[in-house]
Amino acid sequence: MILAARDPVSLAHPAGVNLKPQALWLASIVIPFCGHASAETCNAPGLAPGFCDSDGDLIADSPGDKSQWIDPDPIVLADVPTTDMQARAERATPFLRYLEKATGRKVTYFVARDLSDLLAAFKAQRVHLLILNTGSVEPTVRCNGFVPIAQPVDAAGNLGGYRMEIVVPANSAIKTARDLKGRKITFVDEHSNSGYKTPRTILAKEFGLEAGKDYSFEFSGRQDNSIMGIANGVYEAAAVASDLHENLVRDKLLNAAAVRIIYTSRTFPHSPWGVGHRLNPALVTRLRSAFLSYTGSVGALSGNSRFRAASYKADWEFMRELSAASGKPSGCN
């Protein structure tokens, strides 16, 4: 079953989701609950008020009060929105069936309109298992209790990754990043790593180009909007993720000759799959085990299709540093 954001049923808990009575009204509360101590005494440096981090892994503990746990059936899974969501949902169907066998529960696929819609669904606990764009991982861990459980790796077990690219129309007079002075750059949104945080930071530190001073900018809302806008000559320059660029070319949705790359960054890790910190710990254990033992075909999911246990503290250290260097306030709304 695929739940679309435009369908009214997706604007509330999907039909059949069983939540404990206490959880129904708690879903609307913004401040999360602390795991094993009161909000005044728990140790959670770097996390939003109300979270606990008793083991120092930089992610929120599960609530110590079991009445705060969420135990859904069906489990609602979601992915980062792109142009080909319907096709991606179909490709992911074998994995959903695999998760159903591993957990003993129905698994449905939620199709979000855009990243904001996906984040809103997660915060409202309408989505229970999801992958985020790389730039959203750190703030969602810190502010909304996102718990990474499975990190994508390549066939050799190494971290899978992608790069940030700055692209221009093939016939553009812009040849290098320095030529962006006085131009307009299209970013994705303020949560995006490759589509905002990294390019803005690199342009300032490597080329002395400050946003709003040396170049103007706008937001497209989605990676594919940015790159297709470049291909069609709508935008002057855009910052995008290399894997999405490659996928659009692979799926023949983008003519590779219509786009030219003028800058490529170092490699960043693919986003982990994760859950909310209030999900029943026993269910979290089954989901993590299912990811680690998955041997399905590559391409069934976004990113790689092999996983190891996520280590947010180790794997995302550089991303946390990058987020801090971007100059964006670290507070939570």
Fold of 2-157+271-325: D-Maltodextrin-Binding Protein; domain 2 (3.40.190)
- CA torsion angle for 7, 11, 17, 19 (degrees, to 10)? 180
Asked whether 292 and 150 are in contact (CB, 8 A), the reply is: yes
Q: Provide Rg for the chain, Cα atoms.
A: 20
Sheet holding 273-276, edge to edge: 2-4, 107-111, 75-78, 129-131, 273-276, 146-153, 306-309
C-alpha separations of 299 from 88, 207, 251, 295, 332 in Å: 9, 36, 12, 12, 34
Would the CA dihedral through 187, 146, 300, 93 be positive or negative? negative
Provide the β-strand partners of residue 260: 168
* H helix runs in the chain, sequence order: 21-26, 85-103, 115-123, 134-144, 198-207, 223-231, 242-250, 281-292, 312-315, 317-325
Please report the DSSP string for 80-105 in residue order: ---TTHHHHHHHHHHHHHHHHHHHTS
d(C-alpha 121, C-alpha 80), whole Å: 12
Query: Which structure tokens are listed for 92?
Result: 């992911």
d(C-alpha 81, C-alpha 132), whole Å: 9
Q: What CATH number labels 161-269?
A: 3.40.190.10
pLDDT (0 to 100) of residue 301: 63
Query: Which structure tokens are listed for 54?
Result: 């008793």
d(C-alpha 114, C-alpha 99), whole Å: 25
pLDDT (0 to 100) of residue 10: 32
The 3-class secondary structure across 256-305, one letter per residue, is HHHEEEEEEEEEEECCCEEEECCECHHHHHHHHHHHHCCCCCCCCCCCCC
Block means of pLDDT (10 residues each) for the chain, length 333 residues? 42 38 38 44 81 94 95 93 76 90 95 88 96 87 95 81 94 97 95 89 94 97 95 97 91 95 89 95 97 78 76 86 69 73
Angle between helices 134-144 and 115-123 (to 10 degrees): 20
In degrees, to the nearest 5, what angle opens at C-alpha 277 toward C-alphas 188 and 159?
55
d(C-alpha 146, C-alpha 169), whole Å: 37
d(C-alpha 197, C-alpha 194), whole Å: 7
Angle between helices 317-325 and 134-144 (to 10 degrees): 90
In degrees, to the nearest 5, what angle opens at C-alpha 133 toward C-alphas 128 and 139?
80
In 3D, which of 318, 40, 329, 41 has the Cα closest to residue 159?
A: 318
pLDDT (0 to 100) of residue 268: 83
* Cβ density class 179-197: b for 16+ within 10 Å, e for less: ebeebebbbbbebbbbbbb
Residues with Cβ within 8 Å of residue 71, at least 6 apart in sequence: 18, 19, 20, 279, 280, 283
In 3D, which of 244, 237, 238 has the Cα closest to residue 271?
A: 244
| CATH code 3.40.190.10 region(s) in the chain | 2-157+271-325, 161-269
d(C-alpha 268, C-alpha 316), whole Å: 9
